[in-house]
Structure 1
Amino acid sequence: MAKPTTSPDPPRIEIPNAGSTEQYWIDSTHADKMRFWAKRWYPTAASSSSGDDEAAGQDEVQPKSCTVFCHGFVEYSERYREIFKVWPSKGHEIVAFDQRGWGETAAATANPAKAYGYATWPLQFEDLENVVRQTRQRLDERWGKDAVPIFNMGQSMGGGIVLAFQTRSDAWKMANRTSSPSAEARDLVRGTIAVAPWLRLTEPPHPLLAWVGNNIMSKIPGMPWYVDLKGANICRDPVVAANFENDRFCQKKVYIKTIAGPLFGGPAIITRDYEHWPKDKPLLALHGTGDLVTDHLGTKQLVDNIASTDDKEFKQLDGFYHDILMEPGQDKIDAAQYIVDWIEKRC
């Protein structure tokens, strides 16, 4: 498969024993038959450590775990192609997929311009469940049943999705006419990592404006919306900030229905839905104190509120901006290694 036509390249990171990668497509079980672009970074024997597609399938070794990654708002998976080399370097696999409405998944539809930025929470939960299930099947066929545990990880919007994935009640699913996430799918996930999750915005909308917006969303969900998100406000690395402004897959015009889930559902996870957190699901939440997009104190409040499990942690990253895994120099590597070390202790 040809490499994605994304641009520009993120800052290069030299990671020893970076393993190899494979790009593939995941077919949806949804009625629209959406196909999701996906890529995995996996460990290999010492004789094959190029970290690129040319070595895919050569000297692959059983990973200690597999992390399924959900990217954030107005972005896509390949932005993280450098930092994800940390996973195979420590013997773990990570799978990232471009969500409905974003990246190569949107580009592969019949009408990419119309598909871009078009998603809803119920559909996103269904899509994540499908990816988790297919990943579980692939790992079982390759390495044996349940031999490789699966973890969910999400950044920003994706962080809210993986948290909401474990906190949906039967009443919520009934109200939203969906069966996802199912109890069976949630059980396939060993633990959850939320990276700068979109729960509460750093500058939340005025309550009156939020009420008006909610009513608009329910009546004209196809209305376009412009996201005023600046690269300089998401990352301290000027190269990453500039890339965000010039990336064809980071367009800021989306649909108003797409923001309804995180905008109104995110705060509800903090104040109410946390009560549904499963007692046997470990949680790691990382957030930077310098985040100008999502509120790190909201994330801390969520972790503090969860009482169903003792295996929970809020990792505060002093001075970090929103794009934790893209921050300058060693900062992003340290954050990634912290996550992988946390996963390894729970394999």
Structure 2
Amino acid sequence: MTTEEGSFTTDDGFKLYTKTWKTAGPAVARLVFIHGFSDHCNTYGGFFPTLASRGIDVYSFDQRGWGRSVHKPAEKGDTGPTSRVLADIDGFIKSVLPSPVPLFLMGHSMGGGEVLCFAANGPAETREHIRGYLLESPFVDFDPKSKPSSITVVLGRLVGKLMPKRQMVNALDWKLVSRDQAVGMRIRDDPLCHDTGTLEGLAGLLDRTGALSSGKIRVGKAAGEGGVTRISIAHGTADGICSFAATKHLASQLEAKDKEFKPYEGYYHRLHDEPKPDGENYINDVGNWILARIDKPVEEAAKPKL
């Protein structure tokens, strides 16, 4: 397995940090991965290398406003509106096309909500290249432990209309990230996980969440390659950040021909970062789901290397 760092320039001229985890031999699939709120693509530890060891190349980037895509303090959390977020994702996907092997799109937490929105409303000419979608603890709604007060939301929206680029710290409770408290402390102490959003960006996040939880945004039956929606949704039952119940309800409403909703009993928010062997079990499930949907699974991809 090798890694490659680089950059991607968006259609409006903004430079995003990128990283690729490549398999040692010929790849059998490609995965584009979208990270979550106050996160970046280098926090995923053994997740991406394990997928690469199974023949799956992983392509990811630090979203606008996050990680190494922040070039000055004023850019922290400045994601722009939802239209900008989806345009960045679309542009990055197109940068790895054409793909000689099946292409999958995955998102965690906020990134999972964004992937749902992309599957519902992204450009058809891009979605037709996506073999399947995977969601890890998608942000469909807040868990009660992390839900902001209605007063905070209303005031934030009002001020945001006047000062959309004003920054606001919205710290996640690091104790809810994983049952492995070392993981939570690592996220807490990472300067690139800055917990800062702009009022415009936070409003967009809340709007997407509200539209997903209310059913205003729906993923159709023909959102992927060949006019078929293939989707895997995973969520921990003890997630204290994103609502397990909201994700379960959304999954029950999907009409996809190839649909999987898998609850992970007792898991917290970062399924791949749960204590051994639970984190590894989830990572293996992701690889298995992808490999089951490629044209010719290879024998050497049958067993992960942890």
| Deviation by residue 1:15-53 (Cα, 9 ceiling, x = unmatched) | xxxx221112122222xx111211111211xxxxxxxxx
Partner of 2:94: 133
What is the RMSD computed on CA atoms of the aligned residues?
1.7
User: 1:167 touches 1:273 (CA, 8 Å); kept in 2?
Assistant: no
1:321 aligned to 2:268? yes
Paired residue secondary structure (1:191) = strand
Partner of 1:167: 120
Note the 1:166-185 alignment, pairs <5 A.
166-168=119-121, 181-185=122-126
Partner of 1:217: 160
Deviation of 1:197 (Å): 0.8
Note the 1:276-295 alignment, pairs <5 A.
276-279=219-222, 280-295=228-243
Paired residue secondary structure (1:322) = coil
Partner of 1:89: 53
Note the 1:233-312 alignment, pairs <5 A.
233-279=176-222, 280-307=228-255, 309-312=256-259
Letter in 1 for 2:206: L
User: 2:172 touches 2:195 (CA, 8 Å); kept in 1?
Assistant: yes
| Deviation by residue 1:81-114 (Cα, 9 ceiling, x = unmatched) | 42211111111111111110111111xx3xx201
Paired residue secondary structure (1:25) = strand
Partner of 1:64: 28
Alpha-carbon distance in 1 for matches of 2:236, 2:140: 14
Alpha-carbon distance in 2 for matches of 1:104, 1:77: 9
Deviation of 1:223 (Å): 2.3
Partner of 2:105: 152
Q: Which runs of 5+ in 1 are unaligned?
A: 1-18, 45-60, 140-146, 169-180
User: 2:236 touches 2:263 (CA, 8 Å); kept in 1?
Assistant: yes
Deviation of 1:239 (Å): 1.3
Find 1:105's aligned residue among 69, 81, 89.
69
Letter in 2 for 1:25: S
Find 1:199's aligned residue among 118, 126, 140.
140
TM-score, normalised relative to structure 2: 0.88
Deviation of 1:277 (Å): 2.1
TM-score, normalised relative to structure 1: 0.78
Paired residue secondary structure (1:266) = helix
Q: Structure with the greater relative contact order (CA < 8 A, sep ≥ 6): 1 or 2? A: 2
Alpha-carbon distance in 2 for matches of 1:153, 1:217: 30
Find 2:175's aligned residue among 232, 236, 243.
232
1:36 aligned to 2:16? yes
Alpha-carbon distance in 1 for matches of 2:123, 2:277: 39
Deviation of 1:295 (Å): 0.1
Q: Which runs of 5+ in 2 are unaligned?
A: 223-227, 295-306
User: 1:153 touches 1:193 (CA, 8 Å); kept in 2?
Assistant: yes
Letter in 2 for 1:131: F
Question: What is the number of equivalent residue pairs in this alignment?
Answer: 286
Distance of aligned partners of 1:276 and 1:84 in 2 relative to their CA distance in 1, 3 Å threshold: closer
Partner of 1:344: 291
Distance of aligned partners of 1:157 and 1:301 in 2 relative to their CA distance in 1, 3 Å threshold: same
Deviation of 1:233 (Å): 1.5
Paired residue secondary structure (2:60) = strand
Deviation of 1:306 (Å): 1.3
Alpha-carbon distance in 2 for matches of 1:290, 1:202: 10
User: 2:235 touches 2:262 (CA, 8 Å); kept in 1?
Assistant: yes
User: 1:63 touches 1:92 (CA, 8 Å); kept in 2?
Assistant: yes
Note the 1:329-340 alignment, pairs <5 A.
329-340=276-287
User: 2:177 touches 2:268 (CA, 8 Å); kept in 1?
Assistant: yes
Distance of aligned partners of 1:167 and 1:208 in 2 relative to their CA distance in 1, 3 Å threshold: farther
Alpha-carbon distance in 2 for matches of 1:157, 1:225: 17
Alpha-carbon distance in 1 for matches of 2:10, 2:265: 39
User: 2:221 touches 2:257 (CA, 8 Å); kept in 1?
Assistant: no
Letter in 2 for 1:151: F
